[in-house]
Chains A and B, each alone.
Chain A
Amino acid sequence: MDANKQAYREEVHELLADLEDALIELERSPENRDLIDRVFRAMHTIKGSGAMFGFDDIAAFTHTIETVYDLIREGSLGIDQDLISLTLASCDQIKAMVEESEGGEKADTSRAEEISNAFSALIPSGEEEPDTMPASVSETGKAAKLDATPFTYRIRFRPHPDLFANGTNPIPLLNELREMGDSHVICHLNNLPDLTEIEPESCYVRWDVILTTGCDINAIRDIFIFVEDLSDIDITLIDESSELDEDEDDYKRIGEILFERGDLNLDDLESMLNRQKRIGEILVESGKVQSSEVRSALLEQEHVRNLRKKRITQENTSSIRVASEKLDSLVNLVGEMVTMQARLTQIAHQRNDSDLILISEEVERLTAELRDNAMGIRMLPIGTTFAKFKRMVRDLSTELGKEITFITEGEETELDKTVIDKLGDPLVHLIRNSIDHGIERPEVRRAAGKPEQGTIELRAEHSGANVLISVRDDGKGLDTDAILKKAIEKGLTTQDATLSEKEIHDLIMSPGFSTAENVTSVSGRGVGMDVVVSNIESFGGTVEISSIKGSGTTITLKLPLTLAIIDGLLVTLGEDFYVIPLGSVVECVELTEKDRKRAHGRHVTKVREELVPYIYLREVFTLNGSKPEIEQIVITEINGRRIGFVVDKVIGEHQTVIKNLGKFLKNTQGVSGATIMGDGTVALILDINRLILHAEDEEFKTA
Chain B
Amino acid sequence: MARKILSVDDSASIRQMVSFTLKKEGYDVIEAVDGKDALAKIQGSSVDLVITDLHMPNLDGIGLIRALRAESTYRFTPIVMLTTESHAEKKEAGKQAGATGWIVKPFKPEQLIAVVKRLLG
Interface of A with B (CB < 8 Å)? Answer: 3-4, 7-8, 10-11, 37-38, 40-41, 44-45, 47-49, 51-53, 59, 129-131, 133-140, 164-169, 171-173, 175-176, 223, 225-226, 229, 401, 442, 446, 452
Q: Is the CB of A226 within 8 A of B101?
A: yes
User: Quick check: is B70 within 8 A (CB to CB) of the other chain?
Assistant: no
Q: Is the CB of A130 within 8 A of B55?
A: no
Minimum C-beta distance from B27 to chain A (A): 12
Total A-B residue contacts, Cβ distance less than 8 Å? 125
Minimum C-beta distance from B106 to chain A (A): 4
Residues B5-27 near A (CB distance < 8 A)? 10-14, 16-17, 20, 24, 26
Q: Is the CB of A11 within 8 A of B77?
A: no
Picked from B76, B99, B115, the residue with its CB within 8 Å of the CB of A164 is B76
Q: Indicate whether A175 sits within 8 Å of B121 (C-beta atoms), given known contacts A4-B13, A51-B106, A52-B14.
A: yes
Pull 28 A–B residue pairs with CB atoms less than 8 Å apart, ordered by A. Answer: A3-B16, A3-B20, A4-B16, A7-B12, A7-B16, A7-B17, A11-B12, A11-B13, A37-B57, A41-B57, A44-B84, A48-B14, A49-B11, A49-B14, A51-B105, A52-B17, A52-B106, A53-B17, A135-B104, A136-B103, A138-B114, A140-B110, A140-B114, A169-B78, A169-B119, A172-B118, A226-B118, A229-B95
Q: Is the CB of A130 within 8 A of B86?
A: yes
Q: Indicate whether A45 sits within 8 Å of B10 (C-beta atoms), given known contacts A167-B77, A172-B121.
A: yes
Q: Is the CB of B84 within 8 A of A48?
A: yes
Bound Cα distance A40, B84 (Å) = 13
Interface string of B58-79 (1 = CB under 8 A from A): 0000000000000000011111
Q: Is the CB of A172 within 8 A of B120?
A: yes
A8-B13, A44-B84, A138-B118 known, 17 other contacts, Cβ within 8 Å: A3-B20, A4-B20, A10-B12, A45-B10, A48-B105, A48-B106, A49-B11, A49-B14, A52-B105, A59-B106, A134-B84, A166-B98, A167-B75, A167-B77, A225-B101, A226-B118, A442-B26
Which residues from A are CB-within-8-Å of B17? 4, 7, 52-53
Residue of B nearest to A12 (CB): B13
Bound Cα distance A137, B101 (Å) = 10
Bound Cα distance A309, B57 (Å) = 62
Q: Is the CB of B26 within 8 A of A401?
A: no
Bound Cα distance A261, B73 (Å) = 73
- Most interface-central of A135, A167, A173 (chain B CB within 10 A): A167
Q: Is the CB of B11 within 8 A of A11?
A: yes
Which residues from B are CB-within-8-Å of A226? 100-102, 118-119
Picked from B86, B103, B121, the residue with its CB within 8 Å of the CB of A169 is B121
Picked from A38, A136, A164, the residue with its CB within 8 Å of the CB of B107 is A136
Minimum C-beta distance from B23 to chain A (A): 9
Which residues from A are CB-within-8-Å of B121? 169, 171-172, 175
Residue of A nearest to B92 (CB): A229
Which residues from B are CB-within-8-Å of A129? 86-87
Minimum C-beta distance from A597 to chain B (A): 69
User: Quick check: is B111 within 8 A (CB to CB) of the other chain?
Assistant: yes
Picked from B26, B78, B100, B103, the residue with its CB within 8 Å of the CB of A137 is B103
Bound Cα distance A269, B20 (Å) = 70
Which residues from A are CB-within-8-Å of B78? 167-169
User: Quick check: is B32 within 8 A (CB to CB) of the other chain?
Assistant: no
Which residues from B are CB-within-8-Å of A47? 84
Interface of B with A (CB < 8 Å)? Answer: 10-14, 16-17, 20, 24, 26, 55-57, 75-79, 84-87, 95, 98-108, 110-111, 114-115, 117-121
Q: Is the CB of A138 within 8 A of B111?
A: yes
Q: Is the CB of A446 within 8 A of B26?
A: yes
Minimum C-beta distance from A368 to chain B (A): 57
Minimum C-beta distance from A414 to chain B (A): 39
Q: Is the CB of B10 within 8 A of A41?
A: yes
Bound Cα distance A223, B87 (Å) = 21
Bound Cα distance A196, B100 (Å) = 29
Which residues from A are CB-within-8-Å of B99? 166
> For chain A, what secondary structure do more than half of its interface residues adopt (helix, strand, loop), or is it mixed?
helix
Bound Cα distance A38, B95 (Å) = 25
Bound Cα distance A2, B80 (Å) = 26
Residue of B nearest to A47 (CB): B84
Which residues from B are CB-within-8-Å of A133? 106
- Most interface-central of B13, B86, B102, B120 (chain A CB within 10 A): B13
Which residues from A are CB-within-8-Å of B120? 172
Bound Cα distance A136, B112 (Å) = 11
Picked from A52, A136, A167, the residue with its CB within 8 Å of the CB of B100 is A167
Picked from B79, B85, B102, B105, the residue with its CB within 8 Å of the CB of A167 is B79
Picked from B12, B26, B100, the residue with its CB within 8 Å of the CB of A452 is B26
Q: Is the CB of A137 within 8 A of B118?
A: no
Bound Cα distance A44, B106 (Å) = 12
Bound Cα distance A133, B115 (Å) = 20
Which residues from A are CB-within-8-Å of B14? 48-49, 52
Bound Cα distance A225, B20 (Å) = 26
Residue of A nearest to B102 (CB): A137
Bound Cα distance A4, B85 (Å) = 22
Bound Cα distance A38, B56 (Å) = 9
Residue of A nearest to B76 (CB): A167
Q: Is the CB of B115 within 8 A of A41?
A: no
Which residues from B are CB-within-8-Å of A51? 84, 105-106
Bound Cα distance A11, B120 (Å) = 31
Bound Cα distance A224, B16 (Å) = 29
Q: Is the CB of B104 within 8 A of A134?
A: yes
Which residues from A are CB-within-8-Å of B118? 138, 172-173, 176, 223, 226
Residue of A nearest to B112 (CB): A138
Bound Cα distance A26, B107 (Å) = 33
Which residues from B are CB-within-8-Å of A176? 117-118
Q: Indicate whether A131 sits within 8 Å of B86 (C-beta atoms), given known contacts A48-B105, A167-B79.
A: yes
Bound Cα distance A10, B11 (Å) = 11
Residue of B nearest to A46 (CB): B11
Residue of A nearest to B110 (CB): A140
Which residues from B are CB-within-8-Å of A37? 57
Q: Is the CB of A166 within 8 A of B12?
A: no
Which residues from B are CB-within-8-Å of A446? 26
Q: Indicate whether A38 sits within 8 Å of B104 (C-beta atoms), given known contacts A10-B12, A48-B84, A166-B95.
A: no
Minimum C-beta distance from A318 to chain B (A): 42
Which residues from B are CB-within-8-Å of A3? 16, 20
- Most interface-central of A11, A130, A139 (chain B CB within 10 A): A11
Which residues from A are CB-within-8-Å of B95? 166, 229
Which residues from A are CB-within-8-Å of B76? 164-165, 167
Q: Is the CB of A130 within 8 A of B87?
A: yes
Residue of A nearest to B15 (CB): A7
Which residues from A are CB-within-8-Å of B75? 165, 167
Which residues from B are CB-within-8-Å of A173? 118
Bound Cα distance A38, B34 (Å) = 13
Which residues from B are CB-within-8-Å of A44? 55, 84
Q: Is the CB of A137 within 8 A of B104?
A: yes
Bound Cα distance A169, B100 (Å) = 9
Q: Indicate whether A38 sits within 8 Å of B57 (C-beta atoms), given known contacts A48-B14, A52-B17, A137-B102.
A: yes
Which residues from A are CB-within-8-Å of B26? 442, 446, 452
Bound Cα distance A105, B39 (Å) = 43
Minimum C-beta distance from B88 to chain A (A): 11
Which residues from B are CB-within-8-Å of A59? 106
Minimum C-beta distance from B65 to chain A (A): 9
Bound Cα distance A37, B60 (Å) = 11
Residue of A nearest to B111 (CB): A138
Q: Which 8 A-B pairs have the closest CB atoms?
A: A134-B86, A172-B121, A51-B106, A226-B101, A8-B13, A167-B100, A7-B13, A167-B78
